[in-house]
Amino acid sequence: MAKMTMREAVSQALWEEMERDERVFIQGEEVGVWGGTYAVTKGFYDHFGAKRVRDTPIAEAAIVGSAIGAALTGLRPVAELMTINFAFVAMDHIVNEAAKLHYMFAGQFKLPLVIRAVSGGGRQLAATHSQTPDAIFAHFPGLKVVSPGTPADAKGLLKSAIRSDDPVLFIENATLYQTRGEVPEGEDVLEELGKSKVQREGDDVTIVAYSKMVQAALDAADRLSEDGIEAEVVDIRSLRPLDMGPVIKSFKRTNRAVVAEEGWRSYGVGSEVAARIYEMAFDFVDAPVKRVAQAEVPLPYNADLEQLALPQTEDIYHAAKEIIYG
């Protein structure tokens, strides 16, 4: 085990997969000479060369569209979007091509494409550059949507995404790049796509989270523990496919759940998880499932207002307390 940041973990995953398979290449804005907006691909250009680390114009439709074309011909592109907010410009390619070509051509083509995109707010980038629209992309069958909460998962899941023959939207929360964690060594240590993972065990309440909210959930669980409440934290890691197994297993024991996400609450991940809990474990429901999410406003630029609008550890803590009934 080595301790590293999520930035290093993502970088390592890309590096190892490019070393392992020469069909893997990267393209995006500033990924080459500059070394990546978030310095994830620092040193790649010098090592792998301009052919495999391709700087593109500021044209997300072209970045995704050409990557889809490359994938259809048998290459394994990793297209990087500087922020997921720019994915809206490439929406037709993502939704109508990436998610559907394998199906529309009756399986004659595979689409081994990864789109890396940076999501999340909290860095004063204002309303249009701070969104967490992850749930939108999870709406479309045919597209896998993965978002890790720890460095180890970032590395293991990204490697699996690159090796997958299906298109994967790999969402990285910008504020997590500096977080550190243990990452198992070994080029072939993978994390299977579409599997939820219990990050902390407990019998009193189930907290379901992903990405940045996993750490917030773990912190909330520590606070709850001081009150004598043991929370189980389930990291779903993949929004599509969504693995409810560990969630339901946990819920049948705790009978109450909080779902935390950074995006908005309406039509969100929490709504989906809550609905599935009610469908799959109705007879085990002892309290309403609580959703913790972003305030329903465009995210403010003002730093204090921004933090007020984003879901925090204390929101998860209070939501859990609200359904424990003392």
Partner 1 sequence: MAELVTMPKLGFDMAEGTLVRWVKAEGDSVQKGDVIAEIETDKATVEVETSHAGVMYRHLVEEDTTLPVNAPIAVIAEEGEEPSQDEIDSLVSEAGGEPSKKEEKPEQEPEEKAPKAQETEGKTREAPTETEEKAAETGKEPGISPAGGVRSSPLARRMAEDKEIDLEEVEGSGPQGRIVKKDIQAYLESMKAKGREEEAEAVGEALQPLTAFTVGEVPEDEIVKMSRLRQAIGRRMQDSNQNFPHFYLTREYDTGALMSLRKDLNQLLPEEQKLSVNDFVVKAVALALRQYPNLNASIEDKAHIRRHGSVNIGVAVAVEGGLLTVVVKDADQKPVRLIAREVREMAQRARDGKVRNEDIQGSTFSISNLGMYGIDNFAAIINPPEAGILAISAVQKMPVVVGDELRIGSRMKATISADHRVTDGAEAAEFMKVLANYLEEPMRLLL
Sites of contact with partner 1 (CB under 8 A): 255, 265, 282-288, 295-297, 308-309, 325-326
CA distance 182 to 185: 9
Tokens of residue 294, six digits: 């972003």
User: Hey, what's the torsion of the CAs at 148, 150, 152, 157, to 10 degrees?
Assistant: 0
- Find residue 238's DSSP bridge partners: 146
**Is the CB of 226 or the CB of 283 nearer to partner 1?**
283
In the complex, least distance from residue 308 CB atom to partner 1, rounded to whole angstroms: 5
Tokens of residue 100, six digits: 């559907």
Catalytic residue among 8, 17, 60, 97: 60
CA distance 18 to 320: 44
In the complex, least distance from residue 278 CB atom to partner 1, rounded to whole angstroms: 9
CA distance 212 to 114: 21
**Is the CB of 22 or the CB of 286 nearer to partner 1?**
286
In the complex, least distance from residue 311 CB atom to partner 1, rounded to whole angstroms: 11
**Is the CB of 215 or the CB of 255 nearer to partner 1?**
255
Q: Is the dihedral angle over the CA atoms 40, 43, 44, 49 positive or is it negative?
A: positive
**Is the CB of 35 or the CB of 311 nearer to partner 1?**
311
Residues 6+ apart with CB under 8 A from 169: 87, 94, 115, 117, 137, 143, 144, 145, 146
In the complex, least distance from residue 222 CB atom to partner 1, rounded to whole angstroms: 22
**Is the CB of 238 or the CB of 255 nearer to partner 1?**
255
In the complex, least distance from residue 251 CB atom to partner 1, rounded to whole angstroms: 10
Is 60 among the residues known to form the active site? yes
**Is the CB of 72 or the CB of 299 nearer to partner 1?**
299
In the complex, least distance from residue 250 CB atom to partner 1, rounded to whole angstroms: 14
> Residue 287: CA atoms inside 13 Å, Cβ hemisphere, count?
20
Residues 6+ apart with CB under 8 A from 212: 120, 149, 173, 175, 176, 262
DSSP 21-64: -TTEEEEETT-STT--TTSTTTTHHHHH-TTTEEE--S-HHHHH
Tokens of residue 157, six digits: 């899941």
End-to-end CA distance of the chain: 41
Which are the catalytic amino acids?
60, 129
